[in-house]
Structure 1
């Protein structure tokens, strides 16, 4: 198999994804708060992938400015990720539609029916996350045009199931819409394997944090480059009475202090000093602003260094276009090596 033949095969494997996204390669950028902004998003789209703005806690005015600034940097398609629990979700959808954003991602919980209708009626394509096959089918019935399944290997807020299991559960059985896979993906060979299982494409976040165009603080990038996969661990819940949504991040002093903070809050609750609601709030507020401290201010000791387990595959700062080209080259090399091995076996 020649390189051109391998590329034709790869393009065929992810054609459903590229057709849906309107991109050259079916590689979506994960929406990472403070990181997935105009510079990185436009760089991913300009390199042939599909960048996604992380709206996070932005106001409608801030999102309006961010979309306009991104559009000034790229003529290629890109999407916007909105958190379903945002108090101004309807207004944020309106901003996206006013700008003609082609793809809207609703994340962070089950999308309200009204939000789904607003996106669909506005002419945008709707992408949703699903942690299980049953919910994925429900989302498709509700109007989702594509789904993302994200394994526990991912960075940030995670579910309990690995991508290798989710892919086996979902990909063979949910074929009505394109399904993109995410979580722990850092090389082209892995992308190829999921495409061959039926994925329409992939979503990568951690690999892009150390892109040259990423505005992440140099100290954060160095922390990523030094880290191994085992350094990216989920936060631990100390007491089942006070749930902690798992967040995968690099372990640092802040992580250790969070454990001590939980223990102190539980002690105060048991002593009658705090109500259950006050105790839960005290735990949830510990990390308030911690992601910004790490990404923007470079406080890698006390901030939240959200990272997927693929952080161990991040070895240097690279231009976004180089990262995407490297992933494609790895997938092509795997296809050509397989073809060569098959030819050798046939000759024997």
Structure 2
């Protein structure tokens, strides 16, 4: 299989990505709270991809255990995704350093210079999200090693611009300067091939891995993915302009209406002066974490949040991670071969 010209071309296009990550295929697992834990992360890394633990709202001791448990399940490299607004960010960075985690992914806003220096001092490579070209340039200047360009087709927290537009805007300018991965709405290998030809060194996929055999998500959560089409994965609506809620893409259900009510409640507390803006935003964040856990772990897919990207329509069956990655690689190679 690996002898074909398509596979060789794919390896060549991904070489900067695979060298940077230290794995066989430059396919990052998108970090999904409650889902990207030891089982799925180790399975992705063992299958030649690059698994990433989603720290999310985990307290430091829990992340410590999760990294140790993942190391026990794979001897391949994997990364850890940390949220910049986490109150214990410094401690989480130190835990990654103690475990000699080779790659840290920072998500959720522009990282501070202090956090960047702390990660770099540990010897880890730092990956950050670039939702616009100006931010991509700023991250490069501040010492970030690689970028993920993630469009609004992705699941979970999203920005306002589509993947294809961001890729056209950022890749021609930044691809020469540093490794850039593309994410958001990628469900098949043909798209991977196209972004690699535009200058990306690899891709990141989340939604495609949710129905992997190794993923611990509840059966009801997986069934919701298998039933859904692209148009069912919709962004949450912002109710109050003073409450700058980052939209979240999830499968349409009763929870979407509950969230509107939650925003009105928090906006009311702001009005009354009961809480400050920072507290209001933290309440919204905690709300999401709880709603997601209800769906992923408890299987309550009506009053829980079924976060999913628009590529959910391309998730057709439950299967092992190794088969998902092999299919993506074969599709990408076939597309490159067809183009000669």
- Which residue number corresponds to residue 12 of structure 2? 12
Distance 2:10 2:92 in 1: 36
Instruction: Please state how far the C-alpha of 1:70 moved relative to its aligned partner.
Output: 0.4
Q: CA deviation at 1:118?
A: 1.1
Paired residues, number: 336
Conserved in 1, the CA contact under 8 Å of 2:245 and 2:281? Answer: no
| Map 1:117-196 → 2, pairs under 5 A | 117-174=117-174, 175-196=176-197
Please tell me whether the aligned partners of residues 83 and 107 of structure 1 are also in contact (alpha carbons under 8 angstroms).
yes
Unmatched runs of 5 consecutive residues or more in structure 2:
none
1:244 is matched with which residue? Answer: 245
TM-score by length of 2: 0.94
Gap change, CA 1:70 and 1:286, over 3 Å in 2: closer
Match in the other structure for 2:224: 223
Q: For structure 1, which runs of at least 5 residues remain unmatched after alignment?
A: 340-348
SS of residue matched to 2:301? coil
Partner of 1:344: none
Matches of 2:43 and 2:150, distance apart in 1: 23
Which SS does the other structure have where 2:36 is aligned? coil
| 2:215 alignment counterpart | 214
Q: Distance in 2 between matches of 1:308 and 1:143?
A: 30
Asked if structure 1 preserves the Cα contact closer than 8 Å seen for 2:57 and 2:289, the reply is: no
Is 59-68 or 31-40 further displaced after alignment?
59-68
Q: Secondary structure at the match of 1:170?
A: helix
Offset of residue 288 of structure 1: 4.9
Rounded to whole Å, the distance in 2 between the matches of 1:291 and 1:307 is 11
Q: Report if the CA contact (8 A) 2:7-2:330 is conserved.
A: no
Question: Residue deviations 1:152-198, cap 9 Å, x none?
Answer: 00000000000100001100001211000000000000000000000
In structure 2, relative to structure 1, the CA distance for the partners of 1:194 and 1:281 (3 Å cut) is closer
Please give the alpha-carbon distance, in whole angstroms, between the structure 2 residues aligned to 1:320 and 1:40: 8
Residue by residue over 1:62-88, the C-alpha shift from the partner in whole angstroms, topping out at 9 and shown as x without a partner, is 111111100000010000011111111
* Aligned-residue offset at 1:37: 0.4
Residues 78-118 of structure 1: per-residue CA shift (max 9 Å, x gap): 00011111111111111111111110111111111111111
Matching of residue 330 in structure 1 with residue 331 in structure 2: yes
CA distance in 2, matches of 1:286, 1:79: 26
Aligned-pair Cα RMSD in Å: 2.0
1:60 CA displacement: 1.5
Distance 1:261 1:41, change over 3 A: closer
Query: Which residue does 2:314 correspond to in 1?
Result: 313
Q: 2: distance between equivalents of 1:171 and 1:281?
A: 32
